Amino acid sequence: MSEKLSVVLDVERVCKRVHDATGELNILRDISFQLRARESVAIVGASGSGKSTLLAILAGLDTPSSGSVHLRGHDLFALNEDQRAAVRGAELGFVFQSFQLLPNLTALENVMLPLELRGEREARALATQMLGRVGLSERLQHYPRVLSGGEQQRVALARAFVQRPALLLADEPTGSLDFATGAAVMALMFEMNQEAGTTLVLVTHDPQIAQRCDRQLRIEAGRLVD
């Protein structure tokens, strides 16, 4: 693989500014970094430092005031929203603190959904296999409301990895879980990430989780600091 193609994510001079009654607020200031294939990075910093805003921009869900984000060669903000959504569907997996499962779909249907949206004929078989990988073979037909928090997050992991994304974005994935359950979920996420060869961006406040990543990016008042 060439040097250029091995760069999965290229973030260059990203800034985010908003205006409120007090004037202009700088949420992100001149953020630049690269991530290569199979690399993992933890984004750390105090609450309100800009971590979640940055993650939303990396996903193309929020737009920067200036700067660029290239994901596998796609210039996200040179694309329209439909084009960005197509790139997300092809290249990204998401794991959220609040799970973000659809309550009216079973575990199996939640994992099948992204595959069905891209026209995958083997969606049921692939989703069933992935739920088995996360230890939920006996819970395929259960709805989120009858699953524990740890089980819901394992469904979310299965949904994220079933597409074999180039980049996985995880936003405080253990924030809604107790310590033991969160530790088990994180161990599973890192195992699956290594198996799949996915590039990982993880937002966390937990220094032990952050230390499991290849490197850490610390944000203070919207800036990357050493």
pLDDT for 176-197, tens place per residue? 888 899 899 999 999 999 899 9
Per-residue confidence (pLDDT) for residue 106, from 0 to 100: 97
Q: Once rounded to an integer, what is the mean pLDDT over residues 198-224?
A: 92
The count of domains in the chain is 1
Residue 40 is assigned to a structural domain of this protein? yes
CATH number of 209's domain: 3.40.50.300
Per-residue CA distances from 62 to 14, 53, 85, 146, 184 (Å): 12, 8, 12, 33, 31
Predicted model pTM: 0.88
Inside any domain, residue 217: yes
Q: Does residue 112 lie in a domain region?
A: yes
* The pair of three-digit structure tokens given for residue 34, joined into one six-digit string: 């690269």
Residue 175 lies in a domain: yes
Per-residue model confidence as pLDDT tens digits over 36-59: 999 999 999 988 889 989 999 999
- Residue range(s) defining the domain that contains residue 89: 7-225
Residue 3 has pLDDT above 50, yes or no: no
Residue 86 lies in a domain: yes
Does 23 reside within a domain?
yes
21 band by pLDDT with thresholds 50, 70 and 90 = confident
Q: Residue 151's pLDDT band (boundaries 50, 70, 90)?
A: very high
Residue 195 forms part of a structural domain: yes
Within-domain flag for 1: no
pLDDT band at 77 (very low <50, low <70, confident <90, very high): very high
